Amino acid sequence: MTIALSQTLPHFADARSFRAFRSDPRQWLPIAIDIARSHGIDVASPHVFSTGTNLVIGFGNKLILKIFPPLLRAQFVSERGSLMQLAGRLHLPIPEIVAEGERDGWPYLVITRLSGTLGSEAWPSLPEAQKERVLRQIGETIAAVQRAPLGPLAELEPRWDAFMRGQMQGCRDRHTRLGLAPKFLAGLDDLLRDAAILIPMDAPPVILIGEYIPENFLLACRDDQWSLAGLFDFGDVRAGWRDYDLLGPSAFMAAGRPGRVRSLLEGFGYAKPDFALKRRLMALMLLHHASDLNSHICIEGWQERADDLVELQELIWAE
């Protein structure tokens, strides 16, 4: 107890030094336990989650404490605002805020812990028909989130048009640095010209989670049928054009398989994708805040199977 009270959470000027601090729970777990104890939480069996961006600790099977460093305060604002705005608006469970506060300038949330199997653990072994079923549910969930009113999330910065223009300006440098093959880089200028027309900059914005990927949702199996059982991690939420949230499941899960692609898009509300939609999605995939095609496109041998960005979009969103 005295150790926790005598320690303070430090200030970090950059993300690298924070990540080094996060990787050694001995430096911060006593403080996390002290925060939990101050809210009357049973701290007998803390579990440190090694993945993720912030300090995340589970207490029992009911509660999770998320502590955000000051340099990632925007993630706290996003997470808190999203959980409040989406509460009671979805058919799918999301965490509920139990308590919040601040320690040494580090904001934190105590949220409920959802039950289910982490998507990244269950997804690889699902039969193909079950993968199509889950992708349809993901499409439906994205659409449901986007029907919720923005509320205070409309004030999140950067605004969509500024964000997109910034991403366009840095697009070539980013993908050159990440080692995208020259045959794909060659078509980048044409794609960015199309993007300026195809991506709405001033359409009514919707809530964008940014990362509908297996690490951020839970699955459950009942009567041999796998279904979405929960959605979490709202630290990268922004407001903007609706198609942006199709990118995560397109890249990480659909794998260019027509049945999966169709299920995702139909769940979202799109019929058969036309060239303009594929072109817009290809542009958005290159402009995504975490874009790295070499790491994120889960289609075996895609670098050899496509000769340019047009062929690549046809491969990713195959019909």
- Can you give the pLDDT of all 319 residues of the chain as single tens digits? 334 444 899 999 899 999 999 999 999 999 999 999 999 999 988 999 988 789 999 999 999 999 999 999 999 999 999 999 999 999 999 999 999 999 999 999 999 999 999 999 999 999 999 999 999 999 999 999 999 999 999 999 999 999 999 999 999 999 999 999 999 999 999 999 999 999 999 989 999 998 899 999 999 999 999 999 999 999 999 999 999 999 999 999 999 999 999 999 999 999 988 999 999 999 999 999 999 999 999 999 999 999 999 999 999 999 8
What are the Cα distances from residue 90, in Å, to 140, 248, 259? 10, 20, 26
Per-residue confidence (pLDDT) for residue 50, from 0 to 100 = 84
Listed in sequence order, the residues at least 6 apart from 203 whose beta carbon sits closer than 8 Å to its beta carbon are 241
Query: How far is residue 2's CA from residue 34's CA, in Å, rounded to a whole number?
Result: 10
Give CA separation, 113 vs 19, 93, 94, 103, 130, in Å: 24, 10, 9, 22, 25
* Assigned token pair, 197: 């027309």
Q: Which residues contact 260 (CB under 8 A, 6 or more apart)?
A: 131, 132, 135, 253, 254
Asked if residue 263 lies in contact with residue 252, where contact means CB atoms within 8 angstroms, the answer is no
The 8-class DSSP code of residue 9 comes to P
CA distances from 136 to 60, 143, 259 (A): 32, 11, 10
